Every structure is written in structure tokens, then in C-alpha cells.
Structure 1
Amino acid sequence: MTPNLIVLAFAPVVILLAYIWFRDKYEKEPFKMLFTALLFGAFSVIPILLVEEFFMEFLPLFSGTMQVFLHSFVVAALTEEFFKFVFLYLLIWKSPEFNEKFDGIVYAVYVSLGFAAVENVMYVFDYGMQVGFTRAITAVPAHFLFGVTMGYFVGLAKFYPERKKRLIRAALLFPILLHGVYDFILMMGHPFVLLIFIPFVVFMWIYGLKKMKTLSAQSIYRNDFTVEEDLLKKL
């Protein structure tokens, strides 16, 4: 792999890592924990590849739209988001550094982008510069947003224990749904279906930014911190 390809593979990941770090305005997470989150995300590639390879053995039993649906929602979305969640949970749930809701988003994004970095290197190595540019503005930001969504619900689950089960389910379900729809649109490749790709990506960004804003506003380290009653009513 040439230096240019290496830079292309890692640049979007580094940019998004820096972005979420700056968005964590009130109490930064220790670099050791953030680096560990990246490593956990990178190591999650191992079980993900093994399980995806197992599921792929059954795909030829199906055809057409059903095959694309199963590839999108089960082989890719379910497998990847499940293992990212497992590694995230193992890393932070009992950690004293997980001390406010927004931390859930920060760590989930770092785990998700750790996975995305390895995946991106694999794709760029196999398919070259053009695929690298495409993934820099599509797949890597998508993993960032899947991480935001997962971290939002994990952050709430930690601090609203009476709603933990429902919120943990949401932390798995919503990223799987977003990921599955994202992959399904691209894998179908039908012109009509592709028409909704850009609106769907815009929706994910609006949704993700709103979730970040909501939990950032709930930081216990803000001087004007107050419990947001409307947020509690929505849970």
C-alpha cells in the first residue's frame, strides 16, 4: 500500500475522531481510554469477519431482494453493530471514566471508527484510490453516525438504570436499522432506490447531530446544568 493510500484510508477517520473529541466540550476523556476504544473497535473486526463469513455461506439459498435484505441487515448490520456494542460495553460500562451521558457517544464513536479504520484499509488496499475517496465521504461518516446513535442510548441507559433494558435494546436496534437501510440502498443499486440515498444520509446527519446536542446540553460539568424534564419524558 502506497503512502497516499494509507493517508486516504485513515484521513476521514482521524478527522471524525478529532471532531467528536472537540464536541466533548465539558470534560475530555483520557487519551488512554480513547486509544483503548479505538483498539477495541479494531479488534472487533476479527469476530465480525468470522461471523460474516459464516452467514455468507447461507446467502446463496436466497436470491434477489431477499438476498440483498439479508446481506444488508443480517450479515453486515447485525453482525457489525452487535460486536461493536459488545466491545463498547466491555470497555466502558463499569469504568469510572463513564461519568456522564455524552461519554457514551464519545466512546461508541471511537469504537465504531476503530472498526471503520481497519475496514477502510482493507477496502482501499483491495480496490484503490477511487473507492477510498468514495468511502471517505460515505462509509466512514456512516460508521461515525451509527456510533453516535449507539452511544446516545448507551449513555442514557447508564444514567437511567430503571430504563436500562429498553435503552440497551435501542442501543442495538437503532444502529442496526440505520446500518441495514444504508447498506440495502447501496446494495440494491436500483436507480429508484438510490434516489433516497442522499435524503437518508442527510436524515442520519440531522438525527446524529441532534442526539449529540441533546446529551452535550445534559453534561453535569456545565455550570448551568439542570435535568431536562422533556428528555426524561421521552424515555
Structure 2
Amino acid sequence: MNLLLLAIAPVLSIIFYIYFQDKHEKEPKKLLIVSFLLGAVVSIIMVFGLYFFTGHFIPLTDKFSIWQQFIQAFIVVALAEEFSKYIIVKYYAQTKIAFNEPYDGIMYAVMVSMGFACTENIMYVIGGGYEIAILRAFTAVPAHAVFGILMGYFMGKAKFSKHRIMFNLTGLLLAVLFHGAYDFFLFINFIPGISIGAFISLIIGIILSKKAIKAHQDISHFKS
């Protein structure tokens, strides 16, 4: 039970933080919960399906190959996971009437991302114990939030733009790039010291995420 709480706690902390940053017009809790559950269940199922497909056609035959690890990080993992989240935000959240200001893109993308991160974190923590729980609370879980914020920033812009496709795909691409970079530096940890690149990419992502949140707060239609 303690391990389960440790796995869920960082997810809930991020959700509450992002929720209270929605300063001008809160989203319906039902839609937020459904978005979270879709991320926790549907996106996980989609990812396993994509993993099965890419694992068959893009197998990892040499774990010490930088090129193969690059493909694994950006295509097999990052694209599969972020695409699964993107589909839910685009075809569920973005279609809702309640999605009525740019910040909502961040709110819903983070809910979907945190749903995914919650399921993933529980699987890792139950198998890895307390050390994994603490490590992931400060790395993998915040990373998924960052990917969600960066994607959601552009999907929030897309809802109110004539260039919806461009902004939506930009959000997906940016999430994949940051996710891929984060994983890539971890995957090539056979190079001494290279893992620091993952933390650098995460810090850059956090800085950009704060700017994204502030930008959408400032242009809210409901700002008085």
C-alpha cells in the first residue's frame, strides 16, 4: 500500500499544481477525470499495441548501438507514447465545449499525460521498490508532465486558430522531441556521464513549461 501511495503521490501533486494554475476558468471535474482515465487505460493499451508493431519491425539488436538506441528513444518509445496521448486530447478533449480557452490545452494534455504516467509509475514502482518510487517522483513523472504541457500549449493555440493542424502537430512534435531526448540520454548510459543529458533536457523542458503556462494565463478569454 505504501508503494502504491508513493507511485500515485507525485502524479496527484502535479495535477493539483496544474489545476490551480488554471486561474480564470476551471474545467469541469468530470471531463478532467475522464481525460485522466483515458490516459491511464486507453493510451497504455495503444502504446502496447504500437510497441508490438514497432518491436517487430524495428527490433533492438545491439543495445550498444547509438543509432539503434536513437531510433528506440524517438520512434519506438517517444512517438508511440506521445501519439497515444495526442489522439485522446485531439479527439476527446479538444472537441468539448468546455475547452474554451488556450490554457485548457495544457490542462487536458497534462491530465491525459498524468493518467499514462500513473499507470506506468505503478508498474515500475511495484516492481522496483522505494528507491525507484523516489527516483521517478523527481524524474519520469515530472518529465511526462513537461511533455504534456508542451504539447498542450500548442493544442490550446490550435483550438482557436485557423492553422489547427499545424499547431496540433507542432505540439505533438515538440513532445516527441523532448521525450525522445530524455530517453535517448538514458538509453545510452553505457557512455560514462551521458545520462546528465536527460536531466538537462528535463530542466529546459520545465523552464519552457513555466513560460507556456504563464503565456496562456495571460491571454485567457476570461481574464478580468
Which position in structure 1 is the counterpart of 2:182? 182
1:17 matched to 2:30: no
How many angstroms apart in 2 are the aligned matches of 1:188 and 1:119? 21
Any conservation in 1 of the 2:185–2:196 contact (CA below 8 Å)? no
Q: CA deviation at 1:125?
A: 1.5
Q: 1:195 to 1:39 in 2, by over 3 A?
A: closer
Q: How does 1:91-110 map to 2 (within 5 A)?
A: 91-110=92-111
1:56 matched to 2:60: no
Which position in structure 2 is the counterpart of 1:85? 86
Q: CA deviation at 1:149?
A: 0.5
Which structure 1 residue ranges, 5 or more long, are not aligned? 224-235
Which position in structure 1 is the counterpart of 2:164? 164
Q: 1:125 to 1:53 in 2, by over 3 A?
A: farther
How many angstroms apart in 1 are the aligned matches of 2:105 and 2:164? 14
Q: CA deviation at 1:79?
A: 0.1
1:204 matched to 2:202: no
How many angstroms apart in 1 are the aligned matches of 2:50 and 2:127? 21
How many angstroms apart in 1 are the aligned matches of 2:124 and 2:209? 25
Q: CA deviation at 1:187?
A: 1.0
Which position in structure 2 is the counterpart of 1:6? 4
Any conservation in 2 of the 1:72–1:184 contact (CA below 8 Å)? yes
How many angstroms apart in 1 are the aligned matches of 2:197 and 2:78? 19
How many angstroms apart in 2 are the aligned matches of 1:21 and 1:156? 18
Which deviates further from its counterpart, 210-219 or 50-59? 50-59
Q: Residue type matched to 2:21 in 1?
A: R
Query: Percent identical across equivalent pairs?
Result: 39
Q: Normalised by the size of structure 1, how large is the TM-score?
A: 0.90
Q: Residue type matched to 1:178 in 2?
A: F
Q: How does 1:146-157 map to 2 (within 5 A)?
A: 146-157=147-158
| SS at 1:85 equivalent | helix
How many angstroms apart in 2 are the aligned matches of 1:115 and 1:195? 25
Q: Residue type matched to 1:110 in 2?
A: M
Which position in structure 2 is the counterpart of 1:229? none
Any conservation in 2 of the 1:101–1:219 contact (CA below 8 Å)? yes
| SS at 1:212 equivalent | helix
| SS at 1:177 equivalent | helix
Any conservation in 2 of the 1:40–1:88 contact (CA below 8 Å)? no
1:135 matched to 2:136: yes
Q: CA deviation at 1:181?
A: 0.1
Which position in structure 2 is the counterpart of 1:74? 75
How many angstroms apart in 1 are the aligned matches of 2:110 and 2:98? 16
How many angstroms apart in 2 are the aligned matches of 1:7 and 1:92? 28
Which position in structure 2 is the counterpart of 1:231? none
Q: CA deviation at 1:50?
A: 1.9
Any conservation in 2 of the 1:59–1:70 contact (CA below 8 Å)? no
Runs of 4+ displaced beyond 4 Å? none
How many angstroms apart in 2 are the aligned matches of 1:30 and 1:96? 11
1:113 matched to 2:111: no
Q: Residue type matched to 1:55 in 2?
A: T
RMSD, matched Cα: 1.2
Q: Normalised by the size of structure 2, how large is the TM-score?
A: 0.94
Which position in structure 1 is the counterpart of 2:38? 40
Any conservation in 1 of the 2:181–2:198 contact (CA below 8 Å)? no
Q: Residue type matched to 1:131 in 2?
A: I
Q: Per-residue displacement from partner, 1:73-119 (whole Å, max 9, x unpaired)?
A: 11110000001000111212221000000000000000000000000
